[in-house]
């Protein structure tokens, strides 16, 4: 096969030189589409990290009414602690709540000082093992028989509870929209790259129709006639994929640190293994696009 | 070598058929002329043997293989057993004589060693050993046709088909081409030539199959062209 491999590589290069404009067009579209794939995967990794960090802070706060029986509070606390989804429960008294308010209002203490009674309710803070259980645990709390006895506003259970689910939901919606837009764009670009490869291979076939005719005549096998074209498509998309990897590497090296410095509170990083996975994915999808694109062209324009 | 049984070929329904009820047997080592006017079915005959097309009805066997039952992927291997020469030579303009002939071996996966020994040998056979590095446009028509014969024969196929091999050449050059084809025939290769070159057919006195309107109207050994036109 050594002779054949040399032959195929030579043929692909010659053909590439012959219609480099089409080939370049194919390479650029693949480059752009893979760049978008890479960028959207990279950013969704980052967004997921951010969501994770927000989720980690998620807890449920139960506001207690003034004068709630301590044993009721304790029984609710114990019921929650027995649940395996719950990591921990902390009790905050009215006084502690006021202290906390004072702390956050440090800049304008007069507001707090003007209060003659403490309007803040005591509360139970419930930390969860997995943020995704928030809604379930909320339901569990509402269903607990002692909850109406201790809740600040028993007739409106929703107002006696405060939890970060709203924020997380919004983040999830945001990432979902981002992902959908990304997928649509990627699909469109993938189709465009397929068309480009298809076209460039069609031209390559047209440019070599005489050779192909003679090959058929002297009995070259079908795969022997097809392989150079298939290789050409694959080489085009591989070049596109490598350009993408180079660009993403540069972005990761120079742009990401700047963003990280600007937004130090957000976990802006992509781990090495994830980077390798993304690179592999890009190269493989490049090859797949190349094979499919030139395969289409061969089926349509190269009757053997 | 070639056997056709009740072969008809109709390209378009409701139009006259290109070949009608053709029955032919050609033995190994024969030298046969296929004659007839344009449109008499000569080219269809050749294309059927190369399995470029399939007959509408009837069966064709070439080199012991039933073409109707042959799977598509096997067709290239059939064609390795059939050398083919055309009126327009079909040479690659950007390749030298040597490269044009070598190309035929290269694309069927022959080794470099085989190519290096067989190509000069076949070029000597057609008398082009001095023109190995010439490009087609530096060669005369007769020389170009000899390159194309060399390419058809370099793989030593048992059957050589020629479709109007002298159609573009003057009589003297045509004679040279004919003598090469007859030399190839003497190595045991079956040669089938489709032509309407009357002089050539008459001078060779070989088997002649005459077609008219898609039917065989005459099949005689040591025949002549024989149309009174």
The β-bridge partners of B194 are B34, B163
For B150, counting Cβ atoms within 10 Å of its Cβ (0-12 exposed, 13-18 middle, 19+ buried), the class is buried
Strand B57-62, strand B65-66: pairing: antiparallel
A207 or A244, which is more confident?
A: A244
What is the chain B residue with the closest CA to A5? B109
Q: What mean pLDDT is predicted for residues A258-284?
A: 78
Contact (CB<8Å) B79/A7: no
Q: What is the pTM of this model?
A: 0.68
Lowest-pLDDT range, A82-96, B32-46, B205-219? A82-96
* Residue position matching structure tokens 């259980």: A133
Q: Taking 60 as the threshold, does the pLDDT of residue A79 lie above it?
A: yes
Q: Which of B83, B107, B118 to mutate to test the interface with A (most CBs of A within 10 A)?
A: B107
Spans of all domains in chain A? 2-54+168-301, 59-163
Give the pLDDT score at A299.
Answer: 87
Which positions 217-246 of A are in contact with B (Cβ < 8 Å)? Answer: 217-222, 224-225
A166 or A9, which is more confident?
A: A9
Say which of B79, B106, B111 has its CB closest to residue A217: B79
Lowest-pLDDT range, A45-59, A215-229, B32-46? A45-59
C-alpha span between A74 and A282 (Å, rounded)? 55
Tens-digit pLDDT profile for residues A86-139:
888 888 888 888 888 777 777 777 777 777 778 888 888 888 877 677 778 888
Give the pLDDT score at A304.
Answer: 57
Q: List residues in chain B touching A: CB distance below 8 A.
A: 50, 72-73, 76-82, 84, 90, 92, 103-104, 106-109, 111-112, 151-152, 155
Minimal CA separation from A211 to chain B, in Å: 7
A246 or A55, which is more confident?
A: A246
Lowest-pLDDT range, A253-267, B39-53, B209-223? A253-267
Phi/psi region, residue A291 (left: phi>0; alpha: psi -120 to 50; beta: rest), is alpha
Percent of chain A scoring above 70 in pLDDT:
90
Give the pLDDT score at B152.
Answer: 95
Give the pLDDT score at A74.
Answer: 83
Evaluate whether the domain defined by A59-163 bears CATH number 3.30.590.10: no
Give the pLDDT score at B114.
Answer: 93
Minimal CA separation from B192 to chain A, in Å: 16
Q: Taking 80 as the threshold, does the pLDDT of residue A159 lie above it?
A: no
Minimal CA separation from B109 to chain A, in Å: 7
Q: Taking 50 as the threshold, does the pLDDT of residue A1 lie above it?
A: no
Give the pLDDT score at B82.
Answer: 93
Q: Taking 70 as the threshold, does the pLDDT of residue B227 lie above it?
A: no
Tens-digit pLDDT profile for residues B43-94:
899 999 999 999 999 999 998 889 999 998 889 999 999 999 998 999 999 8
C-alpha span between B34 and B19 (Å, rounded)? 13
Q: Taking 70 as the threshold, does the pLDDT of residue A191 lie above it?
A: yes
Strand order in the sheet with B190-195: B82-86, B159-163, B190-195, B31-35, B207-212, B215-220
DSSP assignment letter at A184: H
Tens-digit pLDDT profile for residues B97-122:
999 999 999 888 888 899 999 999 99
Residues of B in contact with A225 (CB under 8 A): 107
Residues with Cβ < 8 Å from A246, sequence gap 6 or more? Answer: none
pLDDT band at A172, cuts 50/70/90?
A: confident
Say which of B76, B84, B151 has its CB closest to residue A221: B76
Token pair recorded at residue B55: 């007959």
Tens-digit pLDDT profile for residues A11-50:
777 777 777 887 888 888 888 888 888 887 777 777 777 7
Contact (CB<8Å) A217/B84: yes
A274 or B201, which is more confident?
A: B201
Contact (CB<8Å) B155/A218: yes
Residues with Cβ < 8 Å from B99, sequence gap 6 or more? Answer: B92
Most confident listed range (A57-61, A163-167, B111-115): B111-115
Distances in whole angstroms, Cα of residue A91 to Cα of each of A101, A141, B62: 16, 15, 95
Give the pLDDT score at A70.
Answer: 81
Give the pLDDT score at A3.
Answer: 55
What is the chain A residue with the closest CA to B104? A218
Which positions 4-23 of A are in contact with B (Cβ < 8 Å)? Answer: 4, 7
Give yes or no for a contact between A230 and A294, defined as CB atoms under 8 angstroms apart: yes
Give the pLDDT score at A256.
Answer: 79
């Amino acid at each position: 096969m050594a002779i054949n491999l040399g032959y195929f590589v030579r043929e692909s290069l010659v053909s590439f030189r012959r219609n480099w404009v089409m080939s370049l067009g194919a390479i650029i579209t693949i480059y752009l589409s893979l760049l978008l794939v890479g960028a959207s995967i990279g950013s969704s990794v980052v967004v997921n990290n951010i969501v994770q960090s927000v989720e980690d802070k998620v807890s449920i706060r139960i506001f207690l009414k003034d004068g709630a029986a301590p044993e009721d509070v304790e029984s609710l606390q114990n019921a929650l602690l027995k649940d395996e989804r719950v990591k921990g429960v902390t009790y905050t008294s009215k006084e502690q709540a006021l202290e906390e308010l004072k702390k956050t209002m440090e800049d304008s203490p007069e507001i707090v000082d003007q209060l003659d009674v403490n309007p803040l309710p005591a509360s139970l803070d419930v930390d969860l093992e997995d943020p995704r259980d928030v809604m379930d645990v909320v339901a569990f709390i509402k269903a607990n028989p002692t909850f109406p006895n201790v809740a600040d506003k028993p007739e409106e259970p929703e107002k006696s509870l405060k939890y970060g689910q709203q924020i997380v939901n919004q983040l999830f919606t945001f990432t979902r929209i981002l992902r959908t837009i990304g997928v649509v764009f990627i699909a469109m670009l993938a189709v465009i790259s397929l068309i480009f490869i298809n076209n460039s291979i069609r031209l390559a076939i047209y440019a070599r129709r005489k050779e192909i005719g003679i090959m058929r005549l002297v009995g070259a096998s079908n795969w022997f006639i097809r392989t150079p074209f298939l290789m050409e498509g694959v080489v085009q998309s591989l070049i596109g994929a490598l350009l993408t990897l180079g660009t993403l590497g540069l972005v990761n090296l120079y742009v990401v640190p700047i963003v990280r410095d600007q937004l130090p509170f957000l976990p802006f990083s992509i781990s090495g293994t994830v980077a390798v996975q993304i690179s592999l994915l890009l190269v493989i999808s490049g090859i797949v696009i190349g094979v499919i694109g030139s395969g289409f062209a061969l089926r349509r324009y190269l009757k053997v | 070598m070639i056997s056709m049984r009740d072969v008809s070929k109709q390209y378009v329904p409701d139009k006259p058929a290109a070949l009608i009820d053709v029955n032919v047997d050609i033995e190994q080592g024969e030298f046969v002329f296929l004659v007839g006017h344009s449109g008499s079915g000569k080219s269809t005959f050749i294309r059927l043997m190369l399995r470029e097309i399939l007959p509408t009805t009837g069966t064709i066997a070439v080199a012991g293989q039933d073409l109707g039952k042959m799977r598509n992927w096997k067709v290239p291997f059939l064609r390795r057993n059939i050398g083919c020469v055309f009126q327009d030579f079909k040479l690659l303009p950007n390749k030298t004589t040597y490269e044009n002939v070598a190309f035929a071996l290269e694309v069927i996966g022959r080794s470099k060693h085989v190519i290096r020994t067989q190509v000069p040998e076949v070029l000597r056979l057609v008398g082009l050993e001095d023109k190995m590095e010439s490009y087609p446009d530096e060669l005369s028509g007769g020389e170009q046709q000899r390159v194309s014969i060399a390419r058809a024969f370099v793989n030593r196929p048992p059957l050589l088909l020629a479709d109007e091999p002298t159609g573009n050449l003057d009589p003297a050059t045509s004679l040279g081409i004919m003598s090469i084809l007859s030399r190839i025939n003497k190595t045991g290769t079956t040669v089938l030539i489709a032509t309407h070159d009357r002089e050539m057919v008459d001078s060779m006195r070989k088997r002649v199959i005459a077609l008219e309107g898609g039917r065989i109207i005459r099949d005689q050994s040591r025949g002549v062209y024989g149309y009174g036109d």
